[in-house]
Amino acid sequence: MPRKNNPKQTIENIVSVSSKLFIEKGYDKTSMQDIVNALGMSKGAIFYHFDSKEAIFNAVMEKEFERVAETVSGWLMDMQGLTAKEKLSRLLKLNLTDETVNESSTMIASVAGSPQVILGSIQNSLEKLAPIIAAVIREGIEDGSITTEFPDECADVFLLMLNFWCDTDVFPGDSEVVVKRFRFLQHMMKQLGVDIVEDEIIEAVASFYQKGSM
């Protein structure tokens, strides 16, 4: 007797294969036919689970941010003994260099011209990551290294500015522009009592973008 298809496994396959295509080709240049060909499935079978390429991309980004959240949680587990402020500063440094995070940034950049799609990415980012950052901010309020009255709001705004506004693939700008954005982010977070964007971070960002423009 033939074994029935596992819907959960089918969805995972669609998401996994589509993720690779979005990374390699970008969102706009990946067609539904590309996804059909790569999966070896009929278009009808795919549409049974996802009604559009946008829906597939949203599922991909949800999975991506789950992976990022797991990575961030793992980093925090290795930071025992640090103050919350030190933890957040270290998370920021790791965020700028980690391959898992960079893959997500690459896919987000590929939908920069599609506002509705990028909105879904923003929602996924906040849903998966903001609670983790807010929890560390609350820890900082307890240990005295952070003084804000708005832990949840600070987490949301910080992630929005870091992952989207400071990303020149989403909001274009040269090295001077992106450094100014990071300096503004530094100033804003300091004013809010979450002083975690160190000069060292901004210098590293400046160096990265200057090398890229050479």
- Cα distance between residue 21 and residue 110, in whole Å: 11
- Per-residue pLDDT 10s for the chain (214 aa) are 344 567 889 999 999 999 999 888 888 889 999 999 999 999 999 999 999 999 999 999 898 899 889 999 999 999 999 999 999 999 999 888 776 666 667 777 777 667 778 888 888 889 999 999 999 999 999 999 999 999 999 999 999 999 889 988 788 888 899 999 999 999 999 999 999 999 999 998 888 777 654 3
Rounded to 5°, angle at Cα 179 from 176 and 184: 125
pLDDT of residue 214: 37
pTM score of the predicted model = 0.85
Residue-range domain boundaries for the chain: 65-212
Contact predicate 57/111, CB 8 Å: yes
Helix axes 84-97, 53-77, angle to 10 degrees: 130
Report the interhelical angle of 199-212 vs 84-97 (nearest 10°). 10
**How much is the pLDDT for 205?**
87
What is the fold of 65-212? Answer: Tetracycline Repressor; domain 2 (1.10.357)
Note the pLDDT of residue 148: 97
Closest CA to 159 of 203, 98, 101: 101
CB contact at 8 A, 168 and 178: yes
Residue 148 near residue 192, CB atoms below 8 Å: yes
Contact 164, 178 (CB under 8 A): no
